[in-house]
């Protein structure tokens, strides 16, 4: 009986963690569920992955975000800033 309770408690905790993660990301980046937001994110990541970014991609990002992305040293934070730009704009 104790083993079953432990297993259920573990499963319940895991489900709450997953639900919290999904709701948290959805609250932070509401545009994550839209097609245009995902296309924007993938386009910027693919275009900049080789080190050369096209002029069209640069003009699609606002100057405020361009400066933030350029000045950031951490690659993970750069991806977060690109996600902020694509998923938060209306």
The reply to whether 62 and 76 lie within a common domain is: yes
Residues 6+ apart with CB under 8 A from 8: none
* Residue 74 pLDDT level (bands cut at 50, 70, 90): confident
Please count the CA atoms within 13 angstroms of the CA of 68 that sit on its side-chain side: 15
User: With a threshold of 0.75, does the pTM exceed it?
Assistant: no
The reply to whether 83 and 39 lie within a common domain is: yes
Average pLDDT rounded to a whole number, residues 62-78: 85
CA distance 22 to 43: 23
Question: Could you read off the pLDDT of 2-59 as tens digits, one per residue?
Answer: 777 888 899 999 999 999 998 988 888 888 778 888 888 888 888 877 777 777 777 8
The reply to whether 2 and 38 lie within a common domain is: no
Residues 6+ apart with CB under 8 A from 54: 47
The reply to whether 38 and 23 lie within a common domain is: no
The reply to whether 72 and 43 lie within a common domain is: yes
Q: Return the pLDDT at 90.
A: 47
The reply to whether 39 and 59 lie within a common domain is: yes
Residue 20, domain extent: 1-29
CA distance 77 to 74: 5
The reply to whether 56 and 89 lie within a common domain is: yes
Could you give the number of structural domains in the chain? 2
């Amino acid at each position: 009986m104790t083993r079953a309770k432990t297993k259920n408690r573990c499963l319940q905790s895991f489900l709450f963690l997953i639900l919290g993660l999904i709701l948290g990301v959805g609250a932070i980046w509401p545009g994550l569920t839209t097609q245009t937001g995902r296309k924007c994110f993938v386009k910027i990541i693919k275009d900049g992955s080789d080190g050369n970014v096209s002029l069209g991609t640069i003009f699609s990002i606002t100057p405020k975000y361009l400066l933030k992305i350029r000045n950031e040293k951490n690659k993970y934070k750069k991806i977060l800033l690109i996600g902020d730009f694509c998923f938060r704009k209306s």
